[in-house]
Amino acid sequence: MNTKLLKQKILDLAIRGKLTQQLKSDGTARDLLTQISDERRKTRDERKGTRSKKSGVILSEAQSAKSKDLGQIIPLDKNEAPFEIPANWEWVRLGDVGKTITGATPSKNHPEYEGDEIPFLSPGDISQANTITSYESQGLSKQGKILARPVPANTVLQVCIGGSIGKCAIVDREVCFNQQINSISVLIAKYEYIYAVLQSLYFQNEIILKATGTATPIINKSSWDNLLVPLPPLAEQQRIVEKIEEAFAEIDAIEKNKELLKTHIKQTRQKILDLAIHGKLVPQNKSDEPASVLLERITRDNPHYEKMGLDERRETKDERVSNYKRHSREGGNLPPMLSKDEVPFEVPENWCWCRLGDICKASSGKTPSTENNEFWGGDILWVTSKDVKQKYIESTQIHLSELGAQTMNLYRPNTMIIVGRSGILRHTLPVAILKRTATINQDLKALVFADEKIVEFAYVVLKAMKSHLLHEYKKAGTTVDNLNFDLFLTAPIPLPPLAEQSRIVAKIEELFAELDLVLQNV
């Protein structure tokens, strides 16, 4: 989920009157403009009255009338508006809704202007998230404050120059700031609403359009004042602000919990795999051919295979490895020889237990001579640990020529590839399935299954049991860890009927696709 883009969408809806419901009881923005105009005239008259008293000049009736006219805000003709807004809204200029100023920096040649009387902000103190990062970066003394232009709390600041042009923030205390920042202290209207407008993509684009300068864009105060703002009635401004705050809080919560959600999804995936290998993910079908028949079919033509069933005597690990090596040398599949206490958990009646090596043969890869350039750069895939990242391997970073591949074992599609030696074995068991004919390097093992239809479920088993397998069959090294692969082939694995394997794999793909969709929207 692109949370920044989502916030922009919410702001876009807000300033178009599409985030909240319009209510007739709110009145109109024109009523609000009358109140703002009265407040502006009152403020102006008070300033003029103060100056007149100081100078001894008395305003004439004509001068008072002119002052009254100057305070009147004239809304923009909606036919000239950038976009459509509700009927009870009005388009105005930014400078109409408050007092705007550009910051000023007292001379750096006077150290006495620096102090802790009032914070002094620069664009660097405003984050890309449109908040004040710090009020402590710089400060001014009482003397410095007099020379700067302080603004009260709840003033909205916006950067007006440079690469960070458009960043804005609300200050929660009286501050001063430098000349790279413009500010607006809102009259009567909700400063939080004006802050929302200034953050909107519409207003950000308008700043860039009106900015001058090529290498360093800048928008002067006059141009900034004249940028157009959609103004709702005051009551609706309040509802818009509340709705934005509510939506942004939810988005921020999602952002903060994104990693937690990823962890939950990872745990859910593992739970699905665990249910799958216990026979609890899909219903059993009595008409399915039992797994024991599948296992017998895999091994019945092998003269070296001994059907020993569940032996009550538990072999030692050394005996198991010795038996497996012997049978491998003789060219036969490996005997089950599973004692009852070796079975990790119960499985459905028509499933069976076998060892991994009962249903596949393993071999290692190698690296052709790197000094012979004729071996490299062709079309044949050469798989390394770096390629074993996804479930399926369809491409590799390095390729071999046909000449280079002649020195290698070629593995057909639906061969399983396992990383047998790597630093990443400390954390996970990298497993993948070839989708194209390929060769592998010496850090990998290839498992060729007697029935390639089994490979998809075998992938599920190894992923589901990876923690157990790493604990039992990994040898820790100083720089890299290794799988004790001869022993690894003796690992007991559950085997369902072939038809149920297909149903399990299909169900996992369905559930994982739903989880992937959740992640895409995060």
pLDDT digit string (tens) for 405-436?
998 999 999 999 999 988 777 778 999 999 99
Q: What is the pLDDT of residue 322?
A: 56
Q: With bands split at pLDDT 50, 70 and 90, how would you rate the model's confidence at 277?
A: very high
What local confidence, expressed as pLDDT, does residue 137 receive?
92
Long-range contacts of 469-472 (CB under 8 A, 24+ apart): 469/429, 470/425, 470/428, 470/429
Percent of the chain residues past pLDDT 70, beyond the cut:
87
Q: Is the pLDDT of residue 321 over 80?
A: no
Q: Distance between CA atoms of 358 and 340, rounded to whole angstroms?
A: 17
The dihedrals phi and psi of 126, each to the nearest 5 degrees, come to -110, 125
The answer to whether 141 and 112 are in contact (CB under 8 A) is: yes
> Which pair of tokens denotes residue 250?
């939810």
Using an 8 Å Cβ cutoff, are 430 and 422 in contact? yes
Q: Tell if the pTM clears 0.75, that is, is over it.
A: no
The pLDDT score that the predictor gives to residue 337 is 54
Using DSSP's 3-state secondary structure scheme, residue 155 falls into: coil
The amino acid present at 410, given as its one-letter code, is L
Residue 316 confidence (pLDDT) above 60: no
At 341-373, the pLDDT tens digits run 788 899 999 999 999 998 999 999 999 999 999
Q: How far is residue 263's CA from residue 488's CA, in Å, rounded to a whole number?
A: 29
pLDDT at residue 254, as a whole number = 78
The helix/strand/coil state of 350 is: coil
Say how far residue 379 (Cα) sits from the centre of its chain. Answer: 35
**Nearest-angstrom CA–CA distance, 111 and 118:** 15
Per-residue model confidence (pLDDT) at position 424: 74
Is 127's pLDDT higher than 90? yes
Q: Long-range pairs for 107-113 at CB < 8 Å and ≥24 separation?
A: 107/147, 110/143, 110/144, 112/141, 112/143, 112/144, 113/140, 113/141, 113/143, 113/144, 113/147
What is the rounded CA–CA span in Å between residue 308 and residue 338?
A: 8
Tokens representing residue 13 in the block: 């809806």
Res. 184 pLDDT band, cuts 50 70 90? very high
Q: In sequence order, what DSSP letters do the residues of 147-166 get, joined into one string?
A: HS--B-TTPEEEE-BSTTTT
Residue 472 above 70 pLDDT?
yes
Considering only the top CATH level, what class is 287-496? alpha beta
Distance (Å, whole) CA 164 – CA 216 = 10
Which contiguous run of DSSP H or E holds residue 392?
Answer: strand 392-393
Would you call 420 helix, strand, or coil by DSSP? coil
How far apart are the C-alpha atoms of 422 and 429, rounded to whole Å? 10
Average pLDDT over residues 449-465: 95
Q: What is the pLDDT of residue 276?
A: 96
Name the residue type at position 318.
D
Pairing of strands 438-440, 376-383: parallel
Query: What dihedral do alpha carbons 238, 226, 11, 254 form, nearest 10°?
Result: -100
User: Could you check whether 3-233 and 287-496 share the same CATH topology?
Assistant: yes
Looking at residues 224-252, what average pLDDT do you find? Answer: 95
Comparing 67-81, 264-278, 507-521, which segment has the lowest mean pLDDT?
A: 67-81
Average pLDDT, integer, range 273-295: 94
What are the residue ranges spanned by the domains of the chain?
A: 3-233, 287-496
- Residue 390 pLDDT greater than 50, yes or no: yes
SS3 477: coil
CATH topology of domain 3-233: Adenine-n6-DNA-methyltransferase TaqI; Chain A, domain 2 (3.90.220)
CA nearest 250: which of 6, 519, 514? Answer: 6
Given this model, what pLDDT does residue 438 score? 95
> What pLDDT is stored for residue 423 in this prediction?
77
Which residues are within 8 A (CB) of 496 and not within 5 positions of it... i.e. 6 or more apart? 279, 291, 347, 348, 350, 351, 457, 504
